């Protein structure tokens, strides 16, 4: 197989489509392994910054790319796909307003590849999706070129497993699941990933690989829903859910700790399970467990809003007219990614009740308009004077950059959805947990 040999020689040209949280780390690993790499994106701002050697994702240091300019280039010109030997699709797979898969980015990207597809190329989809996307939908689009998958070109699926800013696991150390359309397709894809990751996990089909990724995220969604439901129950029973979890996780077998929060965020857990519920309808199957977990998790912003109103009432304040400061709008600590952040539905609920809102987040200087929300706000710098100006602060994301002792000292009232204060040994009469 000619392609496998070129991959082994590091002479095969790798193209990565989508230079976000998934695509950019791939570009860096392939370039670092000695492959010539081209990054494709429709966002000219990203391309321009990469050409200058600057990163647009705070936790990703792209300085290694600066010394590899001979190996790496970024472009918005998709006509150059014809020159790639291996093409990786790392584009978004969001939900539409009806909570159904929006495959626009994947299918449009597949059409762009099909227009330039040539014999011997390897095409890999990394975007999380429903089983059957690769070997049915993407394959049919690519085969409109007149070439046949498994005969004229190679086709595979390998789900991304990125956890932004995780200090313990990165792209290189996390095992890579790979499914090929045929055995030769699998062989080519495995050879490519073997060059950059410590371990590859080949499976029998692209559908198995697609289903494995969904299982990973559904597992987390269901268990987070469980502890979220228990949080609400234990709150009524005057039991500390965080203390319960700490006690339970001392069991050395049969238990894995999951933690409650104000709602789900990020591009995976709030979205991916619904790709399977949608596909299941094709088979006359109702995924009740998954849907129940989704229902519980999507109710958590309402719980936070209610607990905030109760906390204000105890201080003799109504939420209408109260000034509230939201602390953290990214979906997890210490990253600049606010996709599907629970902060946004919570802020919308507060505004609906008449609260006056601001936010502070060292990673998100300005809120961008999304398909669901439009908050025209910039981040407020935290100071004792600023904190005292608000009737209450609501901790949505527990960034390590926040000075929690200063917050506890100067804020009038604190609603903590992340156990950020007690978890650091900080407690007080003005701290309420939600």
**Which residues are known to be catalytic?**
268
**Distance between CA atoms of 201 and 199, rounded to whole angstroms?**
7
Query: Residue 378 gets which letter from DSSP?
Result: B
Contact 329, 399 (CB under 8 A): no
**How do 154-157 and 176-180 pair as beta strands?**
antiparallel
HEC letters along 117-152: CCCCCEEEECCCCCCCHHHHHHHHHHHHHCCCECCC
Which of 220, 254, 217, 248 has its CA nearest to residue 234?
Answer: 248
**Distance between CA atoms of 80 and 87, rounded to whole angstroms?**
11
Q: How far apart are the first and last CA of the chain?
A: 58
Which of 48, 41, 35 has its CA nearest to residue 8?
Answer: 35
Q: Go through 85-110 and write b for each residue having 16 or more CB atoms within 10 A of its CB, e for each that does not.
A: bbbbbbbbbebeeeeebbbebbeebb
> To which residue do tokens 């796909």 refer?
81
Measured in degrees and rounded to the nearest 5, phi and psi for residue 394 equal -120, 115
Q: Go through 292-325 and write b for each residue having 16 or more CB atoms within 10 A of its CB, e for each that does not.
A: ebbebbbebbebbbebbbebbeeeebebeebebb
DSSP 346-360: HHHHHHHTT-EEEEE
As to burial, measured by CB atoms within 10 angstroms (0-12 exposed, 13-18 middle, 19+ buried), residue 173 is exposed
**Distance between CA atoms of 76 and 46, rounded to whole angstroms?**
10
The structure tokens listed for 73 are 């280039």
Q: Assign 252 to helix, strand or coil.
A: coil
């Amino acid at each position: 197989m000619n392609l496998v040999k070129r991959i082994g020689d590091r002479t095969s040209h790798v193209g990565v489509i989508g230079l976000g949280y998934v695509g950019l780390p791939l570009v860096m690993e392939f370039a670092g392994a000695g492959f010539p790499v081209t990054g494709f994106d429709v966002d000219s701002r990203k391309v321009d910054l990469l050409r200058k050697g600057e990163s647009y994702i705070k936790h990703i240091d792209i300085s290694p790319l600066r010394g590899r300019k001979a190996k790496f280039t970024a472009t918005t010109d998709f006509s150059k796909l014809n020159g790639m030997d291996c093409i990786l699709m790392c584009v978004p797979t969001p939900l539409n307003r009806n909570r159904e898969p929006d495959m626009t980015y994947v299918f449009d990207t597949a059409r762009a590849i099909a227009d330039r597809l040539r014999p011997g190329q390897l095409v890999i989809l990394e975007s999380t999706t429903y089983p059957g996307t690769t070997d049915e939908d993407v394959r049919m689009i690519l085969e409109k070129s007149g070439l046949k998958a498994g005969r004229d070109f190679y086709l595979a699926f390998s789900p991304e497993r990125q956890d932004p800013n995780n200090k313990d696991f990165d792209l290189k150390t996390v095992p890579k699941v790979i499914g090929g359309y045929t055995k030769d397709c699998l062989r080519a894809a495995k050879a490519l990933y073997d060059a950059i990751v410590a371990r590859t996990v080949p499976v029998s089909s692209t559908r198995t690989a697609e289903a494995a990724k969904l299982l990973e995220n559904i597992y987390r969604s269901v268990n987070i829903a469980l502890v979220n439901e228990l949080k609400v129950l234990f709150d009524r029973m005057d039991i500390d859910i965080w203390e319960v979890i700490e006690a339970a996780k001392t069991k050395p077998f049969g238990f894995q700790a999951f933690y409650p929060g104000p709602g789900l965020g990020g591009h995976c857990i709030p979205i991916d399970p619904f790709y399977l519920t949608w596909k299941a309808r094709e088979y006359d199957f109702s995924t009740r467990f998954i849907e129940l977990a989704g229902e519980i998790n999507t109710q958590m912003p309402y719980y936070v809003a209610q607990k905030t109103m109760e906390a204000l009432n105890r201080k003799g304040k109504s939420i209408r007219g109260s000034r509230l400061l939201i602390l953290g709008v990214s979906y997890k600590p210490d990253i600049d990614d606010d996709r599907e952040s629970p902060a946004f539905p919570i802020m919308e609920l507060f505004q609906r009740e008449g609260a006056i809102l601001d936010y502070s987040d060292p990673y998100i200087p300005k809120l961008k308009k999304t398909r669901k929300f439009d908050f025209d706000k910039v981040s407020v710098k935290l100071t004792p004077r600023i904190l005292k100006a608000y009737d209450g602060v609501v901790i949505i994301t527990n960034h390590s950059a926040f000075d929690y002792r200063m917050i506890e000292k100067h804020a009038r009232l604190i609603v903590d959805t992340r156990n950020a204060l007690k978890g650091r040994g900080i407690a007080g009469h003005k701290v309420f947990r939600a």
